[in-house]
Structure 1
Amino acid sequence: MAGQRKRNPNGAGTITKRKDGRYQCAVYVLQPDGTRARKFAYGKSWTECDTKRRELLDKVDQGVPVPTRSARLSEWLPYWLDNVIKPRRKLSTYDKYEAHVRIYLSPMLGAKRLESLGVADVRRFLVRLENQTTAATAKESHRVLRSALSSACNEELITRNVAKLVEPPRADARELHPWTLDETLDFLAASRKDPLYAAFVLAIGMGLRRGEIVGLRWSDLDLENRVLYVRQQTQRRRGVLYDDDPKSRRRRVVPLPGLCIAP
């Protein structure tokens, strides 16, 4: 029939006109649990509906889940960890986030669906967690939840991030008690013959982190210009050593004080 629109190929979804005059498209999409289900979208015109159909197909091609009903947090959080955090963040960050998801977020909030999660739910969760653990732990779980919900917003699974509307617990800053000059000199004198003496001097004289000291190579040392290049750090995770960028990915050149050069 002249003017009749062609059928979409298999897997590309369908568009039909409803009795109320609107158009409806149906596409099989990926669910957070790995299964596939039919997703419907609507438009006032065929073109508007076709645009929504193409957007759904784009997400299918990218492997992005599009729940036909609002996913539970217990379904979304593992997907977020494996597909958003693991490929883009440090292993240490992934391990920390995974622990908060496994120990706190999934057991205490996992039954909630993304769209039904409210400000009061988040606030009650934080109060309960702070009472059971510490304010610092609750504050970190809030940060993990906020990041996970931001990703859900980016993938258009929810329209707002309720965690951003809740003020995190206020954790008291840990009071530090640095050594005095005499204590520092006594320590260096006592450890003079220790195999790790050079590491102790770098930590004290330059404030390098442990991972940055372990990650140093001879090529990072320039005695002629009296500088040290901090290019990487070495970490141990799950019993395996691996090299990574410095904290906050800040590669830097630092001057060597006389203490670190003197024999």
Structure 2
Amino acid sequence: MAYYRRRGCNCKNKKKCTCGAKWSFSVDIGIDPITKKRKQKTASGFSSKKEAQIAAEELEKQIRDKTYIEVTEQTLKQFIDEWSESVAKNRMRESTYYNRLGIINNKIVPVLGYVKIKDIEPSTVQSYYNKLINEDKLSTSYVRTIHNLLSSIFKYAKKWDKVKVNIMEKVDAPIPNHKEMKTWNKDEASKFLDATKDAPTHIAYVLAVYTGMRMGEILGLRWKDIDFSNQTIHIVQTLVRIDGGFTFQEPKTRNSKRQIAIDDYVVSELEKRKEQQETNSELVVTTGIGTPYSPRNLQRNFNMLIKKAKVPKIRFHDLRHTHATLLLKLGEHPKVVSERLGHSKISVTLDTYSHVIPDMQKPTAKKFSNLLRGQNVVKEDK
């Protein structure tokens, strides 16, 4: 049942009010499951009792049909805290969870965290993205990560009836900027490895160039993961940074957990490293006292050795790209390259290294032309 009131009306004849006082109504919306007390919804600002009655009847219908949503008064930060404990912590890998938590606390909360979630508009989020890209100079891939986080947060806000609509459905994700991939050619890769052969970290660069392993996979590699007799490396764990420290965890995907074939040279370099290692650490790449080598320090070491070798500056991760690019230019099948890299699908490999495809097409075009014109065609045995 609805209750109607006309607030602030001092007119003697209530039916012919001239003071402009507005009507309001109150409707019972159920019992609070925690306090066990009756809950009411009050709305005001109606010019006439008829308007208030129409609105009250619509609300009562929503309550009967169980379509009524009581929009939360929570701020975005308050809801994120709830979402983080209930969803993110259980659905994300530990390293991913802490990484995303850092993005939330450093980028999202300072700008949007203290706004009520019901008051955030699509245009507000879109302007926020523009600021991050144009003023803060963040990469579009980083801002897309923020977009994915906000999309998940608002998806659950809608699912849990905290808001009536998911505003992120109206927000456009930033278009990714595809930067030109930087890789070394075979001469540059060889020059770098020659210049770093006396460095304690040399084996890390050998593994990166000759196997395409990720940095975390190299830093997590143990001696027991290497089958010297069969010349294979088993990728079963990776070193990750979590909440200011380091830990080991399984690779992200089923394909990342893989075997990589190595040749005599890599085997000999691994054996040399094992002989030179001053501690009995189970890890292949360690500090001088046998502790795990941090990714940040390895990147710094890599940058220093690049200057020494006088080769073009690239990131450590670009050694992985170098490995893949050189293999594809050699004519290796993309499926084999995909397996070595641990990609989830061969399409990922083809999309990532599409810059190599034009060079690979030249001999193909020549072969096809020769076939049709009957030149230099090797006939199959019948």
User: Does residue 1:199 correspond to 2:214, yes or no?
Assistant: no
Write the letter of the residue equivalent to 1:120.
S
Write the letter of the residue equivalent to 1:254.
I
Once residues 70 and 250 of structure 2 are traced to their aligned partners in structure 1, the CA distance between those partners, rounded to angstroms, is 36
Q: Specify the alignment match of 2:117 in structure 1.
A: 114
Larger Rg: 2
Deviations 1:138-194 (A, max 9, x none): 333222211211222333323442223221122422333211211111122222233
Deviations 1:90-141 (A, max 9, x none): 3432233223322332232234333333322222222233232134243332
Q: Which has the higher contact order (CA 8 A, sep 6+)?
A: 2
Secondary structure class of the residue paired with 1:172: coil
Q: Specify the alignment match of 2:100 in structure 1.
A: 97
Deviations 1:45-89 (A, max 9, x none): xxx79xx7xxxxxxxxxxxxx987342212112222233223332
Once residues 203 and 107 of structure 1 are traced to their aligned partners in structure 2, the CA distance between those partners, rounded to angstroms, is 39
Q: 5+ residue gaps in structure 2?
A: 4-26, 42-58, 270-382
Write the letter of the residue equivalent to 2:78.
E
Q: Specify the alignment match of 2:149 in structure 1.
A: 144
- Cα deviation, residue 23, structure 1: 8.2
Q: 5+ residue gaps in structure 1?
A: 1-17, 31-35, 53-65
In structure 2, the CA distance between the partners of 1:223 and 1:156, relative to structure 1 (3 Å rule), is: farther
Q: Specify the alignment match of 1:69 in structure 2.
A: 72
Deviations 1:207-242 (A, max 9, x none): 111111111122322233322211110123344221
Secondary structure class of the residue paired with 2:172: coil
Secondary structure class of the residue paired with 2:169: helix
Q: Specify the alignment match of 2:178 in structure 1.
A: 173
Once residues 109 and 251 of structure 1 are traced to their aligned partners in structure 2, the CA distance between those partners, rounded to angstroms, is 39
RMSD over equivalenced CA pairs, Å: 3.4
Once residues 209 and 142 of structure 1 are traced to their aligned partners in structure 2, the CA distance between those partners, rounded to angstroms, is 26
User: Does residue 1:79 correspond to 2:85, yes or no?
Assistant: no
Secondary structure class of the residue paired with 1:186: helix
Once residues 127 and 236 of structure 1 are traced to their aligned partners in structure 2, the CA distance between those partners, rounded to angstroms, is 30
Write the letter of the residue equivalent to 1:152.
A
Q: How does 1:183-262 map to 2 (within 5 A)?
A: 183-248=188-253, 250-262=256-268
User: Does residue 1:127 correspond to 2:130, yes or no?
Assistant: yes
Once residues 190 and 131 of structure 2 are traced to their aligned partners in structure 1, the CA distance between those partners, rounded to angstroms, is 46
Write the letter of the residue equivalent to 1:83.
S
User: Contact conserved, 1:28 with 1:39, CA < 8 A, in 2?
Assistant: no
Identity %: 25
Write the letter of the residue equivalent to 1:77.
I
In structure 2, the CA distance between the partners of 1:157 and 1:257, relative to structure 1 (3 Å rule), is: farther
Q: After alignment, is 235-244 or 209-218 more displaced?
A: 235-244
TM-score by length of 1: 0.70
In structure 2, the CA distance between the partners of 1:232 and 1:37, relative to structure 1 (3 Å rule), is: farther
Once residues 241 and 103 of structure 2 are traced to their aligned partners in structure 1, the CA distance between those partners, rounded to angstroms, is 20
Once residues 125 and 101 of structure 1 are traced to their aligned partners in structure 2, the CA distance between those partners, rounded to angstroms, is 14
Secondary structure class of the residue paired with 1:169: coil
In structure 2, the CA distance between the partners of 1:219 and 1:120, relative to structure 1 (3 Å rule), is: same
